[in-house]
Amino acid sequence: MCHGHPRYYSCSHQSVTWHYCPSALIDLETGYETPCSNITFAASQPSTSKCPLANCDFHNTGSDKWKCCQCGGQNSSGWYENMSPNPRWGRNRITNEWEWIGWCDHRC
């Protein structure tokens, strides 16, 4: 049984560190391991290290804060959940339904 240890970062991304069992598959050319079909996961834990993703916008800003282009607020995590300076009814672009927009809810 392979066991995954998920971690989440301040940017809102997650990563998983695997502990492989003898049934895991190993590509001998690349050395890449694939978990077996019988996997379990530990509870996700916060991490103080930087996000390991190369395309993480929050990490690539070079600082621990960014300014929201919508409401102008400062943010210190990947998602911005500040009260909107202009709460209003608006149409959801995905569902095309009207909804109350009271939070900024933007990401880096």
Lowest mean pLDDT among 37-41, 54-58, 77-81, 97-101: 77-81
Contact 91, 23 (CB under 8 A): no
The helix (H) or strand (E) run that includes residue 101 is strand 98-103
Confidence tier at 13 by pLDDT (50, 70, 90): confident
pLDDT above 70: residue 104: no
> What pLDDT was estimated at residue 103?
65
